[in-house]
Chain A
Amino acid sequence: MNKVGLLISFGLIGAGLLWFLIRAIRGQEVERRIIFVFIGLAVAVPILFNITFSEKASPIVEAVYDKIENLSSGSKILISYDYGPSMAPEVEPMSNAFLRHSLAKGHKVYIMGLWATGQSLAGAAIENIVKKEFPEKVNGVDYVNLGYKAGNQGVLNVIITDIRKMYLTDVAGVNLDSMPIMKNVKSLRDMDLLISVGGGLPGVKEWVQFAGDPGHIPMAGGSAAVSAPLLYPYWPTQLVGLLGGIKGAAEYESELVRNYPRFAKMPQPGVKMMGPQTLAHLVIMAFIVIGNISYFIIRRRQG
């Protein structure tokens, strides 16, 4: 079925593109609506026929994986949900993969967010991943959801010296001092790894500038593809590694499935979305070629 789907999708899109290539050679431009139809097809067909590709972790992704993997069990990892629903389809696979990996390794997970919209997404991750896949993990012992606080970088400026100056309770109103997980945790400096997942402001960049770098705390990030290039200057010194876009998430998921048999049947939205992304990229490239052909032919005709 997979191969039939692949053939059908390539056949449909290829024939259409060939037709527009012929039109381009005749010096005709492609209408915007036609491009929309092709992108719609390129995204829909791989989802309908479940077309997936195998992924291999690139060095920048592998570095994050190895960091979590090599920390001794019981290490403290803070994951910040710095995104909203609009960005969630792209970056949520990353935060979910980090959460699964950290809990599977037996680390203590601290969840928070610099985006108001992140608190609900973090809550959903706890309901759907932690409680269902790790029923043995106890809130307040193995993980804690600190929630959202207003102030963007200002929050980081405070919690880098004292978490309790901003957070006295978790999201459910439970006093932090009554939680075993918060014992011996005064500030961000007590964390073994900080992870920010996002793509806007505040996001990974602000975490590097206001927490990771000044506090000399190892930091990793997950970012939307559009903002990943802005974060490369921080790698590998200020950032241990970085997951950029769906490709980064897919690589991390593949690594997780490869090394942890318990995750063999886990949902892999990153890997699943690589099919549509691959075809959409090919269609965009084809249209760029077609656009350039018609551009040169029209220019030549105009002298």
Chain B
Amino acid sequence: MKRQVPLLITLVVGTVLILSVFFPPAERLGEDFSIFFDIIAVFAFFLGGGNLVRIHGNRLYKKNKDWAFSLVTLLGFFIMLIAGLFKLGNPGGISADVAASGSLFQMLYDWIFNPLGATMYALLAFYVASASYRAFRAKNREATILLIAAFIILLGRTPLGVYATSWIPESFSLLQIPNLAIWIMTSPNLAGQRAIMIGIALGVISMSLRLILGVERTYLGVDNE
């Protein structure tokens, strides 16, 4: 029973959603199922929040290594949650937009969450530079092609690419760095991406069929039996 019910739900939902695309009478059912999905998705927040509190609470309770980070995580979580849930300092009161200007939630978001998030993302520039230095080595033919393409794209994404090759006559404009960069993106990159996308789509179809027909059961926490 523990396995049959989820398998049955997967079979019914999967079949209805496929039918809703091809048979207009089933369109309404597909729409209803999408609303069910959206409602269930909200519960993922409860699950995620509960999980976060459990894991970091445990780490804090047992004073594991780096427990101080868990304390910061839990403090951040609860402060944002309370500020948003009770709409503290919200000029429009409890019925107003949670992110209304002047509310504690929006202030925390603007002055703490926003700069911290941007800082984390900005650190990527340093790691990308270091990784490029180590990874882009002309070790073989394929690596050399990748290296040349990377050079053209790097230069093509800056105004220097325009200045450096603007002297090339219009009849050979494809050889201008920005145009070469565009060509790489719209020809070899596009062909490769499309091939990957088609491959993924075929994989998704096959995996979906396995799930709907109950062949694939690992999502239930058990192997095929």
Contact = CB atoms under 8 A, between A and B. Distances in A.
Contact of A84 (B30, B92, B117): B117
B205 interface: no
Contact of B132 (A55, A155, A161, A287): A287
B118 A172 contact: no
Interface in B21-75: 27, 30-31, 34-35, 37-38, 41-42, 44-45
B122 interface: yes
Given A39-B129, A150-B45, A172-B100, A281 B157 contact: yes
A282 B38 contact: no
A235 B187 CA distance: 12
A150 B134 contact: no
Interface stretch (B4-12, B108-116, B167-175, B217-225): B108-116
Interface in B93-129: 95-101, 105-106, 109-110, 113-118, 120-122, 125-126, 128-129
A160 to B, nearest CB: 9
Given A278-B159, A285-B155, A151 B41 contact: yes
A183 interface: no
Contacts of B31: 157-158, 161-162, 165
Most buried by A among B95, B100, B134, B138: B134
B157 A232 contact: no
Nearest to A156: B34
A120 to B, nearest CB: 4
B141 to A, nearest CB: 15
B137 interface: yes
A158 B100 contact: no
Contacts of A117: 113
Given A124-B110, A285-B154, A155 B95 contact: no
Given A229-B189, A292-B138, A86 B159 contact: no
Could you tell me the dominant secondary structure of chain B's interface residues? helix
B160 A88 contact: no
A158 B38 CA distance: 9
Interface residues of B, number: 63
A53 B42 CA distance: 45
A120 B98 CA distance: 8
B158 A55 contact: no
Contact of A278 (B116, B118, B136, B160): B160
A88 B117 CA distance: 9
Contact of A150 (B44, B125, B133): B44
A229 B155 contact: no
Nearest to A280: B125
A281 B155 contact: yes
A5 interface: no
Contacts of B42: 150-151
A58 B182 contact: yes
Contact of B38 (A88, A89, A155): A155
A284 B159 CA distance: 16
B13 interface: no
B210 interface: no
A232 B98 CA distance: 36
A252 to B, nearest CB: 15
A117 B114 CA distance: 10
A232 B38 contact: no
Interface string A112-154: 0000010110011001000000000000000001010111101
Given A230-B193, A280-B125, A35 B133 contact: yes
B146 to A, nearest CB: 11
Given A123-B97, A158-B35, A158-B38, A288 B133 contact: yes
Given A58-B182, A150-B42, A86 B117 contact: yes
Interface of B: 27, 30-31, 34-35, 37-38, 41-42, 44-45, 92, 95-101, 105-106, 109-110, 113-118, 120-122, 125-126, 128-130, 132-134, 136-139, 147, 150-151, 154-155, 157-160, 162, 178, 182, 185-186, 189-190, 193-194, 197
Interface of A: 30, 32, 35-36, 38-40, 43, 53-56, 58-60, 84-90, 117, 119-120, 123-124, 127, 145, 147, 149-152, 154-155, 157-158, 161-162, 165-166, 171-173, 225, 228-230, 232-233, 235, 245, 247, 274, 277-278, 280-285, 287-288, 290-292, 295-296
16 contacts: A30-B133, A58-B182, A85-B116, A89-B122, A154-B37, A225-B157, A229-B185, A281-B154, A281-B155, A282-B160, A287-B129, A287-B132, A288-B150, A288-B151, A291-B134, A295-B137
Given A123-B97, A154-B34, A287-B133, 10 more contacts: A85-B114, A85-B117, A89-B118, A124-B106, A154-B37, A154-B38, A158-B38, A229-B185, A278-B160, A281-B158
